[in-house]
C-alpha cells in the first residue's frame, strides 16, 4: 500500500492523507488552516471513501469541497459530525467577514452532512481491502484513531492525547506495524497538568479577590468545556459566552463520548449563559469570571470584554490555548497589544492591553514524552510523523528506540 500527504505532514494544519491499496483510494482528513489568508491542502482526487478523526477545522474544513465535488461518503463519530457542521458553517461566515474567497458553499455543506456515515468506537467496516475500526483518541469528545487492518496493521492517530483530561479520557495504544502519529509537541514537554490547573484556579481567585475580572478566551470546541470543568467549584459570578455554549449542549446530547456527564452538567449550571444582548450587558456589569470565544482574540465576544478590562490593572486575561503566529492572542503575549478592525476597509488599529496577561499550558495534545510511551506500547515497525512544525526532535527520540521513522513531505509517495 501507498500513502501520500496532501497537506499537514510537516505543518500543524491543513491535513489530508491519501491511502492507496489495490486500486482503492481512501482519504484521511481534509482540512484547512484558518490563517490570514487561509491555507489549504493539495486538491484531492476522487476517493472511494473519506475518514475524519475529529471536528477541528485543520482536519475537516475542506470536506464540504470534497463532498460537493465527488459526493464522497465520510466516516466519523456522531459527535464529530455534529460539531463539524457547526465549524465549517462558521468558517464560511469568517471568510465573509475577512473578505477571503470561499472554497465551498452552503450546498456543499449539505452534501457533507448528507454523506456522513456515523461510526463509533469498536465498530469495524470493510473497505478497500481493509477492515477499518475506530478507537478513542483522547483529544476531544468523539475524536477517533483509525485502525486499518490488511496484510499489515496501520494506525492513523489524528490529534492525540493520552492524559485523562476533565472532559475526556486519554487514548490507549493499539498494536500495529505502521503508526501514523501526530507530533504537535515534538521536542516539548507539558508542565505538570494538575499543578497548572491549580495555578490557574489560584490566579482566578486572586484576580476576583482584588476586585478585577478574569477573562478566559477559549476555543469553543473542547477548551471552553475543560476550563468550565476546572473552575466549576469556584463560588463566583461566572459567565460563558460564544459558540462554546452550543458545543456544551452537543456534548451533553451524546454523553457516551465525555468522561463525566454529571461533572459537565454541574459546570454548565455554575456558569450563566449569555444568550441575548441584554445578557451580555449584564455580564459586562457583574461577571467576575468570563469564559468566552474566540480563543485567539481575532473575533467573537471576547473583544467586547477586553474593551472593558484593557486599562484595569486589577483584571486579567488568562490564555490557555494555542496561538497561531500573527493572531491577536500571539500579539498580546509577544507585544502586549492587539489589532482591532471594525470593518473590512478600515486599517487595523493597535490597542494596548494594560491589565495582567498570563498563559497556561492546558494542551489537548500529548507531549513528546507521552507520545514516546504511546509509540513504544504500540510496538510498530515504522512511525510516520505528521501534524508537526518541527518533527526532528521526536524523530531522533524514536530512532533511539531502534524504530524506523519516516518524515514524508506533502505530495511524496511513500510505500509501506
* Interface ranges with Zn ion (CB under 5 A): 56, 58, 159
Measured between alpha carbons, how far is 19 from 37 in angstroms, rounded to an integer? 29
Q: For Zn ion, give the closer residue by CB, 19 or 60.
A: 60
Degrees to nearest 5, angle at CA 238 with 235 and 242? 155
Shortest reach from residue 387's CB to Zn ion, in Å: 6
Q: For Zn ion, give the closer residue by CB, 58 or 108.
A: 58
Shortest reach from residue 322's CB to Zn ion, in Å: 9
DSSP 75: E
Measured between alpha carbons, how far is 6 from 118 in angstroms, rounded to an integer? 24
Q: For Zn ion, give the closer residue by CB, 144 or 355.
A: 144
Shortest reach from residue 221's CB to Zn ion, in Å: 8
Residue among 406, 407, 414, 404 at smallest CA distance from 379: 404
CA distances from 244 to 96, 281, 336, 394, 401 (A): 21, 19, 26, 33, 41
Shortest reach from residue 15's CB to Zn ion, in Å: 7
Q: How many CA atoms lie within 13 A of 337 on its CB side?
A: 8
Residues 137/144, Cβ–Cβ less than 8 Å: yes
Q: For Zn ion, give the closer residue by CB, 58 or 298.
A: 58
Q: For Zn ion, give the closer residue by CB, 8 or 128.
A: 8
CA distances from 304 to 224, 280, 317, 319 (A): 18, 9, 13, 16
Shortest reach from residue 59's CB to Zn ion, in Å: 6
Q: For Zn ion, give the closer residue by CB, 138 or 242.
A: 138
Shortest reach from residue 365's CB to Zn ion, in Å: 8
Amino acid at each position: 500500500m501507498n500513502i501520500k500527504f496532501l497537506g499537514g505532514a510537516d505543518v500543524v494544519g491543513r491535513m489530508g492523507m491519501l491511502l492507496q491499496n489495490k486500486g482503492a483510494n481512501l482519504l484521511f482528513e481534509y482540512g484547512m488552516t484558518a490563517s490570514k489568508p487561509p491555507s489549504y491542502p493539495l486538491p484531492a482526487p476522487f476517493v472511494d471513501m473519506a475518514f475524519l478523526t475529529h471536528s477541528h477545522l485543520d482536519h475537516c474544513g475542506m470536506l464540504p469541497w470534497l463532498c460537493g465535488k465527488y459526493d464522497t461518503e465520510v466516516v466519523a463519530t456522531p459527535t464529530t459530525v455534529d460539531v463539524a457542521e457547526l465549524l465549517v458553517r462558521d468558517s464560511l461566515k469568517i471568510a465573509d467577514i475577512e473578505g477571503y474567497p470561499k472554497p465551498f458553499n452552503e450546498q456543499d455543506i449539505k452534501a457533507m452532512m448528507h454523506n456522513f456515515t456515523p461510526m463509533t468506537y469498536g465498530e469495524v467496516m470493510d473497505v478497500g481491502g481493509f477492515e477499518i475500526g475506530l478507537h478513542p483518541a483522547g483529544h476531544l469528545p468523539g475524536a477517533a484513531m483509525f485502525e486499518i487492518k490488511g496484510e499489515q496493521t496501520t494506525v492513523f492517530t489524528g490529534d492525540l492525547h493520552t492524559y485523562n483530561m476533565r472532559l475526556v479520557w486519554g487514548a490507549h495504544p493499539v498494536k500495529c506495524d505502521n503508526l501514523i502519529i501526530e507530533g504537535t509537541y515534538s521536542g516539548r514537554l507539558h508542565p505538570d497538568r494538575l499543578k497548572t490547573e491549580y495555578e490557574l484556579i489560584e490566579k482566578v481567585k486572586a484576580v476576583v479577590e482584588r476586585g478585577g475580572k478574569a477573562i478566559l478566551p477559549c476555543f469553543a470546541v473542547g477548551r471552553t468545556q475543560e476550563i468550565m470543568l476546572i473552575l466549576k467549584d469556584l463560588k463566583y459570578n461566572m459567565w460563558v459566552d460564544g459558540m462554546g455554549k452550543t458545543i456544551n449542549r452537543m456534548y451533553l446530547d451524546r454523553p457516551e463520548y465525555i468522561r463525566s456527564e454529571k461533572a459537565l452538567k454541574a459546570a454548565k449550571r455554575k456558569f450563566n449563559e449569555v444568550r441575548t444582548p441584554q445578557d451580555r450587558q449584564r455580564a459586562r456589569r457583574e461577571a467576575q469570571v468570563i469564559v468566552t470565544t474566540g480563543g485567539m482574540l481575532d473575533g467573537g465576544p471576547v473583544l467586547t470584554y477586553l474593551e472593558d478590562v484593557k486599562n484595569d490593572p486589577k483584571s486579567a486575561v488568562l490564555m490557555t490555548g494555542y496561538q497561531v503566529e500573527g493572531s491577536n492572542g500571539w500579539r498580546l503575549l509577544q507585544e502586549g497589544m492587539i489589532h482591532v478592525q471594525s470593518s473590512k476597509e478600515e486599517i487595523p488599529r493597535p490597542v494596548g492591553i494594560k491589565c495582567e496577561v498570563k498563559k497556561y499550558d492546558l494542551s489537548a495534545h500529548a507531549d513528546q514524552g507521552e507520545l514516546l510511551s504511546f509509540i513504544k506500547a504500540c510496538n510498530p515497525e515504522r512511525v510516520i510523523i505528521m501534524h508537526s512544525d518541527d518533527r526532528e526532535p521526536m524523530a531522533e527520540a524514536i530512532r533511539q528506540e531502534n524504530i524506523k521513522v519516516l518524515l514524508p513531505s506533502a505530495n511524496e509517495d511513500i510505500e509501506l
